[in-house]
Structure 1
Amino acid sequence: MQKRKKIVILGSINMDIILQLTRLPKPGETMKVQKFETAGGGKGANQAVAAARSNAEVHFIGRVGDDQYGKQMCALLKENSINVEHIKIDPSHATGQAYILLQQSGENSILVNSGANASIQSEDIEAAQELIESADVIVAQFEVPLPRIIEAFKIARQAAVQTILNPAPALKVPDELLALTDLVTPNEVEAEMLTDIHVVNKQDAHQAAEKLRMQGVKHVLLTLGSEGSYYLTQTGQEEAVAAYKVKAVDTTGAGDTFIGCLAAKLQNNFENMAQAVRYATKASSLTVQKLGAIPSIPTEKEILAK
């Protein structure tokens, strides 16, 4: 039986405000919203819930505002058995919010107000040093300040803790951070931002992955939406993994489900990369068939039953 992994998530916590539309409005156009809903979200929170629902022991480093959204999100994380000891209540900033424009096609556009997520300080990372050192893996995304990720990954590297970087939303990444990263997981847009290679096929994906490895990353996993994913390991193992063909209702949270589930199942030596990627692929295919981010993330039992 695989050991239950101890995962630290350094990431964002948002309240998602979901606006269902027939399509995106044109410039100057006023449209009616078909339906309005709120749901827990933020890339960090989504990935934490995905990992926890896949039987990982999950701890969170982050910030929320001293407001109702912050209370709701901490309660939601606790409900999913996530340790919130290192989530700080920030009286100076509101809890992060994401406004999701969901079209009838299932595609979405997202506007983010970072709020407290952008105010994570070095003192938050220092306070969590022992936690990071005791973990199997730390996962971070770009909805929190880059300097904090570098600080956390330095602690992890010194303690031989696995580091997974989800470089989303797309930004240029300092070489210092890439050199501290064991596994980087960009999508096509993020891969192009990192490498200047436009990824449309496996050959492009291989070139982008090789370039990232030359920049210091040990392992690369590119997520390619409906085309699946492609990975290249430090030992040269590579594979293009097909996506499951399903009818997408809402793609929000699919990538985060993939990352969280992957982190929960990937061995520290990366020897089970193929199996972990397939597990994560199946999980994300279930997520897109339901509305919302956290509400749609499947459990390990649901994933293995399909």
Structure 2
Amino acid sequence: MKKIVVLGSINVDTILNISRLPLPGETMAMSDRSTAGGGKGANQAIAAVRAGAETSFIGKIGQDNAADFMIDTFKNDGLNIDHVTRDQQAGTGQAYILLDDKGQNSILIYGGANQTITTDDIKRASDTIAQADCLITQFETPLESSVEAFRIAKENNVLTILNPAPAKNDIPEELLKLTDIIVPNETEAEAITGVKVTDEPSMVEAANKLHTLGVKNVIITVGANGSFYSVNEKNGFVKAYKVNTVDTTAAGDTFIGYFASKLSSDLSNIEEAMKFASKASSITVQTQGAQNSIPLIKNVEF
């Protein structure tokens, strides 16, 4: 069984259903409101464990009801939460998702306890990282903690996957050089490289710029169109599955968790892993919400 460690954010999502995004100064009525577990890190960890990987999570929550809700969610999925700790002052992270009738979303984030993760927290999890096959992180927790986690991973020959989201253009050079695979979407790829990703030639250009920054392998996801890869000096494109999209929340996180669970350490099955991840994501977008929409492996296997 694949061993995966995810360092990342834990949020409780409040989903606000609206017909369209409001204009500046406009007041609108919502058609519905719901609450679900979220956070990019937690979503990716749950995707990995539902994909069949032995998954451990490194994160922080507060001393509130939202924290209790998330702990129960993690336990129900069988996620190892030995390194999920409580901050005594900051509240559990929150996300407010504006979801329109076309299934597109805009998200507002309160970082809370996610922003209190320290390098000491990472060092306390060093044995767990060292024993993993793969370590995944994103940008909803402090960058210094990600760098420390990737350092430990590479000292122990653990594959590192960086999901550079939310988008940043000031990523530490050391973090990029410690990254085995970077997985941005088109917006994030443009923020890092300055290349507007619109077609396959621009994907190649963006990937080449990421290579010059020190990243060995690149996957760029482009939503309903699919995903591009530049891996082991080979480029290719995997088309997405065509489905009726209800809500794109957690689609990218599902892709990463499922991708990591399937990927061989030498990346030799890159297209197979991407197709597997794309199939899982196509199921996620057909249900509203984040973690509740992430499928079990029995519903994804070909």
- 1:254 & 1:74 partners in 2: Cα distance? 22
Q: 1:145 aligns with which of 142, 145, 156?
A: 142
Q: Which deviations, in whole Å up to 9, do the C-alpha atoms of 1:256-301 show, x marking residues without a partner?
A: 0000000111111100101000000010001000010101111111
Whether contact under 8 Å (2:262, 2:273) holds in the other structure is yes
Q: CA deviation at 1:122?
A: 1.3
1:218 equivalent among 216, 219, 229: 216
- Corresponding position of 1:175: 173
Letter of the 1:195 partner, please give it.
T
Q: Distance in 2 between matches of 1:25 and 1:210?
A: 38
TM-score by length of 1: 0.97
1:87 paired to 2:84: yes
Which amino acid in the other structure matches residue 80 of structure 2?
N
Structure 1, unmatched stretches of 5+, are none
AA aligned to 1:193 is A
Structure 1 residue 136 corresponds to structure 2 residue 133: yes
Select the residue among 229, 232, 245 that pairs with 1:231.
229
For residue 79 of structure 1, report the CA deviation from its aligned partner.
Answer: 0.8
Q: Identity across aligned pairs (percent)?
A: 50
Count residues with an aligned counterpart: 301
* 1:206 matches 2:182: no
Which one-letter code corresponds to 1:281 in the other structure?
S
Match of 1:39 in 2: 36
* RMSD after superposition: 0.7
Q: 1:7 aligned to 2:4?
A: yes
User: Partner of 2:264 in structure 1?
Assistant: 267
* 2:190 corresponds to which of 183, 189, 192: 192
Find 1:244's aligned residue among 241, 244, 255: 241
Give the superposition deviation at 1:204: 0.5
Q: Kindly provide the CA deviation profile for residues 40-94 of structure 1, in whole angstroms up to 9, marking residues without a partner as x.
A: 0000010011100110000000100010001110110111110011001111100
1:66 aligns with 2:69: no
Q: CA deviation at 1:218?
A: 1.2
Moved over 3 A (4+): none
* Structure 2 gap ranges (5+): none
The answer to whether the Cα contact below 8 Å between 2:118 and 2:144 also exists between their aligned partners in 1 is no
> Normalized against structure 2, the TM-score is what?
0.98
Instruction: Please tell me whether residue 288 in structure 1 is matched to residue 285 in structure 2.
Output: yes
Paired residues of 2:15 and 2:98 also in contact (CA < 8 A) = yes
Is the partner of 2:276 in helix, strand or coil? Answer: helix
**Counterpart amino acid of 1:186?**
P
- 1:244 is displaced (CA, Å) by 1.0
Mapped to 1, the partners of 2:197 and 2:289 lie a distance apart of: 28
- Aligned-pair CA distance for 1:178: 0.5
Separation (CA, whole Å) in 2 of partners of 1:278 and 1:5: 18
Letter in 1 for 2:216: K
Q: What CA deviation, in whole Å up to 9, does each residue of 1:205-239 have, x standing for no partner?
A: 011111111211111000011110100112x1211
- Name the residue aligned to 2:52: 55
